[in-house]
Amino acid sequence: MSAREFNFDGLVGPSHNYAGLSFGNVASFSNVKSASNPKLAALQGLAKMRALAARGFGQALLPPQDRPNFRLLRSIGFSGTDAEVLAKAAKESPVILACAYSASPMWTANAATVSPSADSADGRTHFTAANLNNKLHRAFEHTQSARSLRAIFKDEKHFAVHDALPGTPAFGDEGAANHTRLCKDHGSSGVEMFVYGRTEFDASAPAPKKYPARQTLEASQAVARLHGLSAGRTVYIQQNPDVIDQGVFHNDVIAVGNANALFYHEQAFADEAGALDQLRRALAGVGADLNAIRVDTARVPVADAVASYLFNSQLLSKADGKMALVIPQECQEVASVAAYLDGLVAGGSAIDELIHFDLRQSMRNGGGPACLRLRVALTDAEAAAMHQGVVMTEALYHTLVAWVEKHYRDRLAPADLADPQLAIEVHNALEELSRILGLPGLYDF
């Protein structure tokens, strides 16, 4: 069966801000408490979606989440009217208020893990919302993520949306940021590669020493079970704990795959040779040869990969059989990476084009092109069965730009999170958005 990959980009919400909430994510920590520009952030994301849709790539969006999360604030004892809840939280615990206001749902690579129908036992596309339980500010995203996915992929004949795994350290799950699907083509059975940072029930397994490993092996195995994946086509690979300690908080900061190509840094995995061997053998079972595009430390040190987000790129198949690499403009600003990329596209590899975007507002929180999108490979029948109002078109782009211009501020400083007017603005914007997208029950206001 033929299938097409859709990228569901996170539409940046009206309260996009920098709160320094992600220990282990260098950019988030470096930009703590600086002022953000929500309007520019949303427009940068929309420009990327529009450009890729115009090029003929399957492009859709996932809506922002309601902010602040009053349920979280009330559940931990802040009471009274909404304005009183905000005032008390701002006074007693600004950091918890920032968590309730987090911009993080925009990085939809962390919304869920997705297995296309060609891989699952029941022939449906499976989604498991990621519990993101390593960080307070992300640990409550999964409720709305599952709700949004169910609103878009409602037809149970084609789609199954699973609730998040139990929110406990043993099942730390970061979704598609630690999952890659390799295949001959999007419509045929593929190999699902889960990359984990630590193993809960094996104290002897290597683990990072400085920063947290967010994804566990146990979580990856649970998702594979829920999705009905076949053992021979599922591969579990341990991330190199040393690179986690250098700021590689998700595997998609050090590797990206598409079709039969794996573009990765030599230090990405705990056992590089073993990882490639497992992938080669599994891919042989689906009639594909692994195309391993390895970047050496001598060409690009890990620190440069993290600073530029070289691997947090999108690798997209083009109609001519070649691939384009969608990169943030920071890649042009880090000398080793810029030189490497010049050689890559000129050198006859599968990648023959670079498409770069200014995503600075997202990058300042550690979110590059790949963080901003959730990949869903769909057959024609599945694509027709999903909700159409989220598919990016020129018309939707212009409607959303006007909506952003109407509702978004162009400056948000940490102190503004205490402003009760901001909560009202977000609410009004999202109410209108659910009408624009044709999803009236999207939010549980």
Using CB under 6 A, list all residues that contact ligand SUG: 18-22, 25, 28, 102-104, 107, 109-110, 138, 177, 249-250, 252-253, 365-367, 371
260 is in an annotated binding site: no
Q: Measure the CA dihedral 196/201/205/211, to 10°.
A: 60
313 is in an annotated binding site: no
Point out the catalytic residue in the list 5, 174, 192, 330.
Answer: 174
Q: How far is the CB of 197 from ligand SUG (least distance, A)?
A: 13
Question: In this complex, which beta carbon is closest to ligand SUG, that of residue 187 or of residue 247?
Answer: 247
Longest C-alpha distance within the chain, in Å?
A: 64
Active site residue 371: yes
Active site residue 192: no
The radius of gyration of the chain's CA atoms, rounded to the nearest angstrom, is: 21
Sort 143 into a burial class: Cβ within 10 Å, 0-12 / 13-18 / 19+.
middle
- How many Cα atoms occupy the beta-carbon half-sphere of 214 within 13 Å? 28
Question: In this complex, which beta carbon is closest to ligand SUG, that of residue 196 or of residue 403?
Answer: 196
Question: In this complex, which beta carbon is closest to ligand SUG, that of residue 262 or of residue 283?
Answer: 262
DSSP E strands: which ranges in 154-282? 159-162, 179-182, 191-196, 234-238, 255-258, 261-265
312 is in an annotated binding site: no
Question: In this complex, which beta carbon is closest to ligand SUG, that of residue 3 or of residue 98?
Answer: 98
Active site residue 394: no
73 is in an annotated binding site: no
21 is in an annotated binding site: yes
What 277-280 contacts at long range (C-beta under 8 Å, 24+ apart), as own/partner pairs, is 278/235, 278/237, 279/182, 279/191, 279/193, 279/235, 279/237
Question: In this complex, which beta carbon is closest to ligand SUG, that of residue 104 or of residue 317?
Answer: 104
Point out the catalytic residue in the list 16, 142, 227, 250.
Answer: 250
Point out the catalytic residue in the list 331, 371, 382, 407.
Answer: 371
Q: How far is the CB of 231 from ligand SUG (least distance, A)?
A: 26
20 is in an annotated binding site: yes
Q: How far is the CB of 337 from ligand SUG (least distance, A)?
A: 17
Q: Of 420, 417, 427, which is closest to residue 90 (Cα–Cα)?
A: 417
Cα separations in angstroms, 339 against 78, 173, 293, 343: 53, 35, 16, 7
Which residues does the annotation mark as catalytic? 174, 250, 371
Binding residues for substrate: 19-28, 110, 137-138, 214, 252, 365
Task: Could you list the residues known to form a binding site, using ranges.
Answer: 19-28, 110, 137-138, 214, 252, 365
